[in-house]
Amino acid sequence: MAERDPGESSGTQFCGNCGVAVVPGGTACVQCGAAIQPEHDSYELGGDYIPYCRSCGVPVAREEALHCTKCGVTPLCREHYYPSTRSCALCPAIESDGQGEQDSVSLPGRPTGPWPKPAATLPCPRCGARIRQGVEFCPNCGADQEGVGEASQYPGFLPRFFAFIIDNLIILAGGTVLFAIVEIPALGLLITIPYYVGFTYKLGQTPGKRLLGLLVVDDNGTIPGLRRVILREVVAKSVPSMLLLAGTFSLIFSVAGYASGTVLLLGYLWIVRDPKDRGLHDHFAGTYVVKKKRN
C-alpha cells in the first residue's frame, strides 16, 4: 500500500484544541466549542494584491482572503466562497459527463460539485475588479460604473425624439379640430402648455412617452412636483418657443427669438452627449427621463 504524502491535504479540517474533525464551513467545534479559524488554501498571493472580492467587490483583507481551488480566483469573500466544494461563485457549471466521473475517481479528494453558476458580475473598466450589476461605483478604484452591466435605465435620444413626434401629432390633430370651431391666434401654444404640464404632472408621461415606455422623474425617482414640471415644460421649453414664434412676426423679438430657438435646439441635442440622456431643460428643472419598468 502506497504511503501517504505528509504534505498532501485531505481536505478535512480539525479542531486545534481537541482534534475532532470539523464540519465544513463550521465556525465552532461541536466537541469542545473552540472557535474554528477558516481554512486557507496554500496559495501565494501576488505583490499586486487587490483587497476586494473578485465576485462582488467588497473589501477583503489579505489575511482573510479565500482562494478557489477550482478556477484559481482570489481573493474571495465568505459569501462567494463555498467551503463544502472549496469553489467560488464565478466557477462555471460542470456537466456530469464521463470526464467529470473519471476525474472524481482518479482524484477522490477533489470536490465534484455541483458547481454554482457564474454570478452576475462585470469587470470595472478602469481596474478590472469584479463588481455586481447595479453597483454605481467601483469599491477598488472609485470609478463610476454608470451604463456598465445591465442595460441603461436611460432611453437615449431616438426614443425621446419619437415620443416628441407622437405628442406633436396629437396636438396638431386636436388643434386642427379646435381651430375649425374657434379661430383663436396662437391656439397651438394654448393647447401645448396644458397638454405637457397636465400629463407630466399627473402621470409623469405624455401619451407619446407612454407609447414608448418613458417616464419623467425627479432626483428621487418619483413623478416630479408641479414646480419642477412648470420649470421644465413652461420656462425651459414653452417660453423659448414663444419667443422664437414672436421673432418671426416682429423685428423687436427677432434677436431674442432666434437666440432662444438656438438654446432650445441645443437643449434637445444635449441629450445625445449627456451620460444620463438629459436635455438642458432636464438639468434646469432637475428631472430625468427613464425607461418605465413594466409590471
* CB burial of residue 92 (10 Å; 0-12, 13-18, 19+): exposed
Residue 268: which residues within 8 A CB-CB, separation 6 or more? 279
Q: How far apart are CA 214 and CA 203, in angstroms?
A: 11
Amino acid at 64: E
Q: How far apart are CA 265 and CA 257, in angstroms?
A: 12
Angle at 276 between CA 209 and CA 223, to 5 degrees: 45
What pLDDT sits at residue 99? 44
Residue 238: name the closest of 204, 193, 284, 198 by CA.
Answer: 193
What pLDDT sits at residue 133? 62
What pLDDT sits at residue 204? 93
Q: How far apart are CA 149 and CA 151, in angstroms?
A: 6
What pLDDT sits at residue 215? 93
- Cell readout for 42 is 496554500
What pLDDT sits at residue 83? 79
Q: What stretches of 82-186 show up as alpha helix (H) in DSSP?
A: 98-106, 157-181
* CB burial of residue 176 (10 Å; 0-12, 13-18, 19+): exposed
Can you tell me whether residue 76 is helix, strand or coil?
Answer: strand
User: If you ran DSSP here, which 8-state letter would residue 52 be given?
Assistant: B
Q: How far apart are CA 143 and CA 41, in angstroms?
A: 31
What pLDDT sits at residue 238? 80
Burial 218-255 (b: 16+ CB within 10 A, else e): beeeebbeeebbbbbbbebbbebbbbbbbbeeeeebee
Low-confidence ranges of the chain (pLDDT < 50): 1-11, 40-43, 93-107, 115-119, 147-151
What pLDDT sits at residue 1? 41
What pLDDT sits at residue 227? 94
Q: How far apart are CA 244 and CA 258, in angstroms?
A: 6
What pLDDT sits at residue 256? 67
Answer for the pair 246, 233: CB distance below 8 angstroms, yes or no: no
Q: How far apart are CA 173 and CA 187, in angstroms?
A: 12
Number of other residues whose CB lies within 10 A of the CB of residue 152: 15
Global pTM value: 0.48
